[in-house]
Amino acid sequence: MVVKHDKKSMTGNDAASYAVLYAKPKVISAYPITPQTTIIEKLSQYVDEGKLDAEFIIVESEHSALAGCMGAAWSGVRTFTATSSQGLLYMAENVFWSGYGRLPIVMPVVNRCLAPGWSIYQDLQDSMAFRDAGWIQIYTKNNQEVFDTVLQAFRISEDKSIALPSMPCLDGFVISHTTAQVDLPNAEDSFNFVGEYSDPVIEVDTEKPWIFGGLVGPEKFIKVRTDLMEAMERAKKKIVDMNKEFGEYFGRTYGNGLIEIYGDDVADLTIVSMGTIADEAQDAVDKLKEEGLSVNEMRVRTFRPFPEKDIVEFAKKNHKLLVIDRSVSFGHAGQLRIEIEAVLQRNKVDTSVEGRLMGLGGEDVPYPKIVAAAKEALRSKI
Amino acid sequence: MKVTQKDLLNIPKKALLKGHFACAGCGSTLAFRHAIGAIADKVILVVPASCASVYQGGGKGAAFNVPTINTAFAASDAVASGVRRAMKTKGKDDLKIVIWGGDGSGADIGIATEIGACDRQEEILHIIYSNNVYGNTGGQRSGDTMIGAKTATTPYGNTTPRKMVPFIMMANNARYVATASSGYLEDLVYKVKKAVSMTGFKLIQIDAPCPPNWRSDSADTVKIAQLAVKTGVWPLFEWDRETNLVEISRPSKKYEDITNRVPLTEWTKLQGRLKSITEDQLKSLLADTERQWNFIRKFM
């Protein structure tokens, strides 16, 4: 049975705030940064108005924002923060600490480029720099998916078999500050889906003098890291299951949760991308189809854990991939492209791959640009 | 609330078990055993990167007998804030959230976080055990290093005055600020017990001799700590926000009067780091000591 929804107009950041309001975290610890700020502003308002019964810690830096959440997570309560860009970099040490420490924190990253050049507009350079931090990363395509993903993130992170922090990613301004329709379930149904965080994955307790984050010798260290790798592997299934369960309850799914296919199952060219560019690419696919060209699209929704199997299976059937990247590994290539090429190579798939960098530092990427890039890729012989 | 020697012999809880990794004669573990032992039944400890993150031991042999959260160097006060707020939502207001860290975090890298927690009036007790150096990394100069002290990064003696964290916290509206010493454990335990009974942010800074980095005899730890008080170089005092008054603590009282003080060289000669202190450096150290006393006197 699908629950009732109200149609509302709201920004992507407001959609995130609604999801948090409904998930009822106990501790929010936050610091302002554009374009994330309106998420935590809204939440502070909810707390002050008594709509959300939570402790709101107004900290003095992003480093402390995440540290506050870490303290709350170690104490076994649901906790939330959000950040962007330089703020994410400033909290870097704690991003890794909470990933490797297996703390179930939910922290949307409102994607914004890194300085210099000084700019507040979107690309994925910030969150992509943290792919190795032990966080689940889900890249959303629109306001609706932001709400849905933030709700799901609490469930995924707080599952005892997973115990990993989650980073729902949303493009700055294009999602965060743009008003669009969101089908909003009510507070009760939303909370019923998320549930109480009553069986914490970790909890400091005066009756048990446990030590958290203490010394680990080399002989045990590999075990700690292997556990994390295995949890990431389990997270793939969890995300797929969550997507399905979410669909049954709310009537919406996003591909299989890991990747989302648009258009025909087999085509001459497959556009591969993440975030809002992937949403725009759907229009490009339609346009190209009208012109009689055979193009489909694969959106990588979950970047960590990386959906190797799903990507490989789809790529195998298709002839050529055009990977559009919104972030670069300098000295190498677009970051998504690098990973796609790696899994194809590892699985001996000979589908060719071409890469394009688009939308860096807020460059607008309307569908005609993607159409042009796709046509070029169809013409080239690789 | 007076703490006697008899009280010291009956520590309520063994907070520090056998097999810790501290160096022989460590002033910090001596203070830990008594300070944390006196309040241990309801304590959650937050430990930033420090000697304490090592001497707590690891695995099944962990020597800290209190729940302990280890944090990144600059994160302890914010993590402690998160713990405190989370416990509040669970109705566990009676827990004592205590940070136990060195001067590297407390005076340098973590000071913004520390002032942040103080500014928010978080109900936390931050205890800095000051060994005056980055001890764990091999003894480099910290913001809390004494003038004249040789460290790994000041091979000819440190030239700048100490960063006075207690004064910084007084200026930032802490609830309670005190200095203490590994050489006067009754006074230390009294202050720790008093601090945890108060709401708001509290800071206690302990003089904790460090034989390897001070190049002193490990048997002299208590003697050196006591001489720091008797020479006046480490004044023991308490400051309470309610009264905005400083009270000189009993072991220090006599030495407020400069004529009663033991010559500073009695203290320096026991420490390799200060043995070859120059005349000029000694003068600067004496001047800096007086600067501290003059600051304190303004609140008396």
- Report the number of distinct structural domains present in chain A: 2
Q: Would you state the pLDDT for residue B41?
A: 87
Claim to verify: residue A272 and residue A189 sit in the same structural domain: no
Query: Is residue A201 within a helix (H) or strand (E), and if so which, with residue range?
Result: none
pLDDT in tens, A314-323: 999 999 999 9
Q: Given a cut of 90, is residue B59 above it in pLDDT? A: no
Q: Mean pLDDT across the stretch B15-41?
A: 95
Q: Would you state the pLDDT for residue A381?
A: 65
SS3 A334: strand
Within a domain: A91: yes
Dihedral (CA of B237, B95, B117, A212) sign: positive
pLDDT in tens, B261-274: 999 999 999 999 99
Q: Mean pLDDT across the stretch A193-211?
A: 94
Provide the residue type at B124 as one letter. Answer: I
pLDDT in tens, A222-233: 999 999 999 999
Q: Mean pLDDT across the stretch A348-363?
A: 97
Contact A63 B74 (CB under 8 A): yes
Residue B198, both tokens:
């108060």
Residue A356, both tokens:
């394009």
Q: Given a cut of 80, is residue A1 above it in pLDDT? A: no
Best A29, A94, A206 residue to mutate vs chain B (most B CBs within 10 Å) = A206
Within a domain: A208: no
Long-range contacts for B150-159 (Cβ within 8 Å, ≥24 apart)?
A: B150/B272, B150/B273, B150/B274, B150/B276, B151/B213, B151/B273, B157/B276, B157/B277, B157/B278, B157/B281, B159/B281, B159/B284
- Give me the percent of chain A exceeding a pLDDT of 70: 99
Claim to verify: residue A310 and residue A236 sit in the same structural domain: no
Q: Would you state the pLDDT for residue B11?
A: 84
The residue with tokens 């012109």 is: A291
What average pLDDT is seen over chain B? 96
Within a domain: A211: no
Q: Which residues of A touch B (CB under 8 A)?
A: 26-27, 29, 53-55, 57-61, 63-65, 67-77, 79, 93-94, 97, 204-206, 208-217, 220
Rounded to 5 degrees, what angle do the CA atoms A315, A320, A324 make? 90
Confidence band (pLDDT; 50, 70, 90) for A53? very high
Nearest CA of chain B to the CA of A162: how many Å? 21
- Class of the CATH-defined domain B9-297: alpha beta
* pTM for the predicted model, two decimal places: 0.97
Could you say which of A191, A225, A250 is where a domain stops? A250
Q: Would you state the pLDDT for residue A256?
A: 98
Q: Mean pLDDT across the stretch B211-217?
A: 98
Q: Mean pLDDT across the stretch B145-151?
A: 97
**Do A323 and A354 meet the contact criterion of CB atoms below 8 Å apart?**
yes
Claim to verify: residue A172 and residue A283 sit in the same structural domain: no
pLDDT in tens, B40-50: 889 999 999 99
Nearest CA of chain A to the CA of B146: how many Å? 29
Contacts for B25 with CB less than 8 Å, ≥ 6 apart: B209, B211, B216, B217, B218, B219, B220, B221
Claim to verify: residue A280 and residue A175 sit in the same structural domain: no
Confidence band (pLDDT; 50, 70, 90) for A80? very high
Domain ranges of chain B: 9-297
pLDDT in tens, A90-116: 999 999 999 999 999 999 999 999 999
Claim to verify: residue A233 and residue A292 sit in the same structural domain: no
**Nearest CB partner across the interface for B85, out of A27, A67, A206:** A27
- Give the structural domain span for A41: 5-202+216-250
Within a domain: A210: no
Q: Mean pLDDT across the stretch B3-30?
A: 92
pLDDT in tens, B274-287: 999 999 999 999 99
Claim to verify: residue A109 and residue A128 sit in the same structural domain: yes
Instruction: Tell me the count of A-B CB pairs closer than 8 A.
Output: 155
End-to-end alpha-carbon separation of chain B, Å? 22
* Cβ-based contacts of A61 with chain B (< 8 Å): 112-113, 116
Claim to verify: residue A267 and residue A234 sit in the same structural domain: no
* Cβ-based contacts of B78 with chain A (< 8 Å): 29, 57, 59, 63-65, 67-68, 71
Claim to verify: residue A141 and residue A35 sit in the same structural domain: yes
Claim to verify: residue A80 and residue A174 sit in the same structural domain: yes
Q: Given a cut of 60, is residue B130 above it in pLDDT? A: yes
Contact B42 A206 (CB under 8 A): yes
Q: Given a cut of 80, is residue A83 above it in pLDDT? A: yes
Within a domain: A207: no
Q: What ipTM, to 2 d.p.?
A: 0.97
Q: Would you state the pLDDT for residue A382?
A: 55
The CATH code of the domain that includes A198 is 3.40.50.970
Q: Mean pLDDT across the stretch A283-291?
A: 98
* Cβ-based contacts of A30 with chain B (< 8 Å): none
Claim to verify: residue A228 and residue A170 sit in the same structural domain: yes
**CA-based Rg of chain B, rounded to a whole angstrom?**
18
The CATH code of the domain that includes A312 is 3.40.50.920
Q: Would you state the pLDDT for residue B180?
A: 98
DSSP string, A247-273: HHHHS---TTSSEEEES-SS-SEEEEE
Claim to verify: residue A224 and residue A101 sit in the same structural domain: yes
